[in-house]
Amino acid sequence: MLRIPKIFAHAAAVVVVLSPGTTFAQESVDSDLISIHARVLSADSFLGRDTGSLGHEMAARYVASQCKEFGLVPLGDGYFHPVPMTRATITSATLTIGAESFTDIFPNFNKAGTLRSFSGPVVFEDQQSGRRIPNTLQTGAIVVTGGLIRSSAKIDSLSAEGAIGVIQLMPDSGFFELLRESRGRSRLFLQDETIPSAFAGAIPSLVAGPDITAALTSIIGSGGGEVFFEIETQTNPFTSPNVICVLENDGGGVEEFLALSAHLDHLGLGTVDQTGDSIFNGFSDNAAGVAMLLAIAERLRAQPVVSRPVVFLFFTGEERGLLGAEHFAASFSQAGNSIAGLINLDAGAPPAPPARWEVVAGNDSHLGEAAQMVAETNGWGVRVSAARPNSDFFPFHRMGIPSIFIIPGARPYDGKTEGESDALFERWDAYHQRSDEWNADFPFDGLQRYAEYAISTLIAYDRVLGGR
Ligand SMILES: [Zn+2]
């Protein structure tokens, strides 16, 4: 018998499934269930579900108890998969330029060894053109860039050139403060430093605000200068659980899982805002995503329509650098298991049914094709974009596992005018703010469609792979 490479076997199946007359029915998911789960998970009592906090632990227990109630089983020893991490609490961070010291600076994503003090001459680099002032990067230099560097690969390449630190300038005080607040006072790392990180590179990575931007900009003209960065931290080891639940299906001997993921953690507590609120409830980010997964699990349990086992992944540490997903991706494959495809949900809660979608990493696999096909069948627009490390699908995508991240696309929403859609968005968008809360007036038909798109794509992909 000829051994057909898997990719061709899949391609053959696609021809059958996508032949004329094949339709992908939109599956129904209960929007009340999504609302109830999201309300529980974003309650004040969970204190913003910060990674490693009691609030997150309680939310994890809620999710596991729901899985158990639906008849989902653990993977391995139990529903909780502890992820060993270290917390470094920043007690001070100061940048000195000439005679002046500044505190509008904080470490971005870092690994254990890169939260350290350093000093050296600065080199400015324009991220778009790559142009540098001065134009050579000496060993021991500190690279200063305008705007955020979004991947560890870039930081690693600067390190390979001899840089010992990176400072990313954010001149807008609003953006700077939002990001500083989001990152919080502590930094979290995986204890296992052999596991890759999408964000943390080999050298210290810092974000600086408007005061430092002005001071550094003024020394560009004078041909450069030296800076001194000083940081003090306190470190503590701890564990935080991923929650993993499996819906068993008789795959006729097929042992590959289909996977759905959503992060359970959020930002925890911050300072008190103007309304007296200090809790980042994270309703749309990502209690809504977890709630969609629970509603999908219940739906698939009540009416089994996929032939493969489905693993539901509720990750910890996403906001801290995809830590739970990185850890699981590394250990899952070591354990000899395999995932045929993963769909990640984590994009804010659309306040009306989207008419368009973005499918991140949708060009790289038959899973992406299935997502496009489902959208087209339903008359929705779909834009495919390149993979980037903006949520938990990324570690799996990096390993070559078909993985997509479905995001509601451009407005207007379905059945709404441009103006109505913008007004809805304005009213409900509260990305990474304390006001991102469950509300009885929030229209849940947007999340219903989001969940239905995910479940329909899962079913379509199962058929592409040769399911029932
Ligand atoms: Zn999120």
What gap in Å lies between CA 246 and CA 243, rounded to an integer?
10
Ligand 1 centroid to Cα of residue 263, in Å, is 7
Q: Say if CB 271 and CB 178 are below 8 A apart.
A: no
What gap in Å lies between CA 441 and CA 415, rounded to an integer?
19
Ligand 1 centroid to Cα of residue 89, in Å, is 22
Ligand 1 centroid to Cα of residue 271, in Å, is 20
Ligand 1 centroid to Cα of residue 283, in Å, is 10
Tell me, yes or no, whether 41 and 177 share the same domain: no
Ligand 1 centroid to Cα of residue 394, in Å, is 13
Ligand 1 centroid to Cα of residue 183, in Å, is 13
Last residue of a domain, one of 198, 215, 236: 236
Over residues 204-235, the pLDDT tens digits come to 999 999 999 999 998 877 777 899 999 999 99
Tell me, yes or no, whether 218 and 95 share the same domain: yes
Ligand 1 centroid to Cα of residue 406, in Å, is 12
At which residue do the structure tokens 């009691």 appear?
54
Over residues 319-347, the pLDDT tens digits come to 999 999 999 999 987 777 799 999 999 98
Ligand 1 centroid to Cα of residue 391, in Å, is 7
Q: Say if CB 266 and CB 182 are below 8 A apart.
A: no
Tell me, yes or no, whether 255 and 379 share the same domain: yes
CATH number at residue 444: 3.40.630.10
Counting every residue written for the chain, the total comes to: 468
Tell me, yes or no, whether 436 and 381 share the same domain: yes
Instruction: Record the tokens describing residue 41, joined without a space.
Output: 């998970």
Ligand 1 centroid to Cα of residue 18, in Å, is 33
* 136 pLDDT more than 70: yes
pLDDT of residue 425: 95
At which residue do the structure tokens 């409830």 appear?
281
Last residue of a domain, one of 236, 268, 290: 236
CATH number at residue 169: 3.50.30.30
Beta bridge partners of 100: 97
How many domains, in total, are found in the chain?
A: 2
Q: Containing domain of residue 113, as a range?
A: 86-236
Q: Is residue 22 part of a domain?
A: yes
Tell me, yes or no, whether 273 and 393 share the same domain: yes
What gap in Å lies between CA 290 and CA 294, rounded to an integer?
6
Give me the mean pLDDT over the 72-92 stretch. 95
Q: Is residue 79 part of a domain?
A: no
Question: In degrees rounded to 5, what are phi and psi of residue 431?
Answer: -55, 125
Question: In degrees rounded to 5, what are phi and psi of residue 401?
Answer: -80, 130
Tell me, yes or no, whether 425 and 327 share the same domain: yes
pLDDT of residue 252: 55
Ligand 1 centroid to Cα of residue 427, in Å, is 19
The Cβ of residue 137 has, within 10 Å, a number of other Cβ atoms equal to: 17
Ligand 1 centroid to Cα of residue 184, in Å, is 15
Q: Which of the four pLDDT bands, split at 50, 70 and 90, describes residue 12?
A: very low
> Which residue, 346, 341, 264, 344, is CA-closest to 309?
341
Secondary structure string (H, E, C) spanning 63-76: HHHHHHHHCCEEEC
Cα dihedral 328, 329, 334, 335 sign: positive
| 3 state DSSP class of 211 | helix
Q: Is residue 304 part of a domain?
A: yes
- Please state whether the predicted TM-score (pTM) of the whole model is above 0.85: yes
Over residues 279-310, the pLDDT tens digits come to 999 999 999 999 999 999 999 998 888 989 99
Over residues 343-370, the pLDDT tens digits come to 999 988 999 999 999 999 999 899 999 9
